């Protein structure tokens, strides 16, 4: 049995909408426009790597292949989740993701349901979440005629907000927002609108209008989040979502909590503060910007410190 948390080295992605805010997590970011930190990734476009202990140097994908016991023996030929921190220095394109069935038929991929915890944002920051069309015909007409102001539903956000974004939801992260995203491990995105922006060569980014119209949920289905709180010692656990794809909590710790990890592996991202995890007399320090996996059947452990952690599991 593994008696240590498994820490991962994140990887970074350059994005035209990215910035330099990810530095606040203590990262040495590689680009002026670093848009994404992939914290737990086992994807063909990027793999996070174990940064110490007996599995040092292995990718998350390799761990999944070779040490399935760490994951409670869950089936599947690919690791099911992807966790990222995004720094939106500019508006992201308006997009929608298909569900599993549509993605399987059209893309030979998984669908994508995702969710966002707003870590930080500028005053007045907004997301696009859902739309105002009543029928598919109306939706299509508004898209084709570019009536974006009437069509798209803008929502002001603040730090600590949480949004569940099921497949079929029209969405976009707005400028000035830093989020932690938990999603299905898929890369299928249909872009509906990109603000008519042109790249350095004067080209518009590709849009996927027909597929977007096919997969969008109409009328929009706002997946309301009802956070549930539970106190465990000095830790407050807030559960935001329990879906078929993932469960996501925040642990707000101010002191000491005795916990017990059973049959599910947990992905833990430290978004503020620091502390220690103690397991059978061994102490492991953790701090803001670090990401660690607790294997299934990790058992009893003690978490101390002043910190906020985002925790996800199947
Ligand atoms: Zn998305």
Output the CA 219–ligand 1 centroid distance in Å.
Answer: 19
pLDDT tens-place string over residues 177-218: 999 999 999 889 999 999 988 887 888 889 999 999 999 999
| Max CA separation in the chain (angstroms) | 65
Q: Give the residue-averaged pLDDT of 155-170.
A: 97
Q: What is the average pLDDT score of the chain?
A: 95
pLDDT classification of 279: cutoffs 50, 70, 90: very high
Output the CA 17–ligand 1 centroid distance in Å.
Answer: 14
Q: Which of left, alpha, beta for 211 (phi over 0: left; psi -120 to 50: alpha)?
A: alpha
Output the CA 171–ligand 1 centroid distance in Å.
Answer: 7
Residue 171 has pLDDT above 80, yes or no: yes
Output the CA 172–ligand 1 centroid distance in Å.
Answer: 7
Output the CA 81–ligand 1 centroid distance in Å.
Answer: 14
- Catalytic residue, chosen from 15, 78, 191, 205, is 191
Output the CA 61–ligand 1 centroid distance in Å.
Answer: 22
Output the CA 15–ligand 1 centroid distance in Å.
Answer: 14
Output the CA 55–ligand 1 centroid distance in Å.
Answer: 31
pLDDT tens-place string over residues 92-149: 999 999 999 999 999 988 899 999 999 999 999 999 999 999 999 999 999 999 999 9
Give which of 297, 145, 166, 135 is closest to 243, Cα–Cα.
166
The dihedral built from the CA positions of residue 19, 20, 21 and 26, taken in this order, carries a sign that is: positive
Residue 1 has pLDDT above 80, yes or no: no
Please give the pLDDT value at position 2. Answer: 81
Please give the pLDDT value at position 145. Answer: 95
Active site residue 191: yes
pLDDT tens-place string over residues 8-22: 999 999 999 999 999
Please give the pLDDT value at position 5. Answer: 97
Please give the pLDDT value at position 224. Answer: 86
Are 312 and 83 in contact, with CB atoms under 8 Å apart?
Answer: yes
pLDDT > 70: what percent of the chain? 100
Please give the pLDDT value at position 200. Answer: 79
Find where tokens 């969710």 sit.
Answer: 115
Please give the pLDDT value at position 283. Answer: 97
Give which of 311, 165, 159 is closest to 224, Cα–Cα.
165
Regarding pTM above 0.85, the answer is: yes
Q: Give the residue-averaged pLDDT of 61-70.
A: 96
pLDDT tens-place string over residues 239-264: 999 999 999 999 999 999 999 999 99
CA distance 42 to 83: 10
Please give the pLDDT value at position 255. Answer: 98
Q: Give the residue-averaged pLDDT of 2-13.
A: 95
């Amino acid at each position: 049995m593994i008696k240590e948390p498994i820490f991962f080295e994140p990887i970074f992605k350059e994005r035209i909408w990215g910035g330099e805010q990810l530095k606040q997590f203590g990262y040495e970011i590689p680009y002026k426009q670093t848009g994404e930190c992939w914290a737990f990734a086992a994807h063909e476009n990027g793999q996070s790597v174990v940064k110490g202990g007996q599995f040092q140097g292995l990718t998350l994908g390799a761990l999944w292949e070779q040490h399935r016991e760490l994951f409670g023996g869950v089936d599947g030929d690919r690791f099911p989740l992807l966790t990222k921190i995004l720094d939106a220095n500019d508006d992201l394109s308006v997009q929608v993701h298909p569900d599993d069935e549509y993605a399987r038929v059209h893309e030979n991929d998984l669908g994508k349901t995702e969710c966002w915890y707003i870590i930080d944002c500028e005053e007045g920051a907004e997301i696009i979440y859902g739309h105002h069309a009543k029928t598919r015909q109306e939706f299509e007409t508004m898209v084709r005629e570019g009536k974006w102001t009437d069509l798209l539903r803008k929502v002001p956000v603040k730090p600590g907000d949480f949004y569940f974004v099921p497949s079929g939801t029209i969405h976009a992260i707005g400028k000035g927002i830093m989020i932690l995203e938990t999603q299905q491990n898929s890369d299928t995105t249909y872009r509906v609108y990109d603000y008519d922006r042109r790249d350095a060569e004067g080209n518009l980014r590709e849009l996927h209008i027909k597929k977007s119209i096919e997969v969008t949920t109409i009328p929009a289905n706002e997946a309301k989040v009802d956070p549930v709180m539970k106190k465990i010692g000095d830790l407050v656990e807030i559960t935001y979502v329990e879906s078929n794809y993932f469960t996501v909590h925040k642990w707000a710790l101010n002191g000491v909590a005795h916990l017990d990890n059973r049959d599910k592996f947990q992905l833990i991202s430290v978004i503020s503060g620091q502390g220690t995890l103690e397991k059978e007399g061994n102490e492991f320090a953790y701090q803001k910007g670090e990401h660690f996996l607790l294997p299934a059947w990790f058992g009893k452990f003690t978490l101390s410190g002043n910190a906020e952690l985002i925790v996800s599991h199947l």
